[in-house]
A and B are shown apart, each in its own frame.
Chain A
Amino acid sequence: EPEVTQTPSHQVTQMGQEVILRCVPISNHLYFYWYRQILGQKVEFLVSFYNNEISEKSEIFDDQFSVERPDGSNFTLKIRSTKLEDSAMYFCASRVTGMRQPQHFGDGTRLSIL
């Protein structure tokens, strides 16, 4: 069965450094999402992306965050200048067209900011 794949599984970065989290959504999916989960807290929506542009973003998704689909297969989340509070598990998800379709999630990237 097709899967959403995320790399790396764990990223350790110094505060202030830029980090790029990578996702390969399922190939025929057109809607892409990033969520994050701070340890012990809820999974929170960050951003949704469709047709090469952001369709919705949360208050968390400020100017330090950006997303990109640089080619036909990858979907990336960039954090420009990481803060300690960016430490979290980041999940990528994708779905096909259709409001009734489920989102399929990757296994996540654990981001640790030192």
Chain B
Amino acid sequence: KQEVTQIPAALSVPEGENLVLNCSFTDSAIYNLQWFRQDPGKGLTSLLLIQSSQREQTSGRLNASLDKSSGRSTLYIAASQPGDSATYLCAAPTGGGNKLTFGTGTQLKVEL
């Protein structure tokens, strides 16, 4: 059974700081891993999908890495801005139908 853990649970940083969010998963037989952003009371916005054959995937100020052998993924946010404040979720697919198992998320607050 896939279990996904995210640390830290919450993070507060000053604007401009670079930061790293961590995600670990127990079943490394995954094809890919997705990172999402969720604003309070809102839906899930897909940020990055990193395939198991890739080590990194970049989109703007975001960079995700994946290490299947250690069961870890990181999301790096460069030069954080107040608009980055949200909860960040990682999700790993399992099973033949590729259902996603989500972590509990990291709640990020970027302060002016």
| A interface residues (Cβ-Cβ under 8 A, vs B) | 31, 33, 35, 41-45, 48, 50, 55-56, 58, 89, 91, 93, 95, 99-100, 102-108, 110
Provide the bound-state CA to CA distance between A103 and B104, in Å.
18
| B interface residues (Cβ-Cβ under 8 A, vs A) | 31-32, 34, 36, 41-44, 46, 49, 51, 89, 91, 93, 95-105
Show 23 A/B contacts (Cβ-Cβ < 8 Å), sorted by A: A33-B100, A43-B91, A45-B99, A45-B100, A45-B101, A48-B98, A50-B97, A55-B96, A55-B97, A56-B99, A89-B43, A95-B98, A99-B31, A99-B93, A100-B32, A100-B51, A102-B32, A103-B34, A103-B100, A105-B36, A105-B43, A106-B43, A108-B43
Chain B residue with minimal CB distance to A9?
Answer: B43
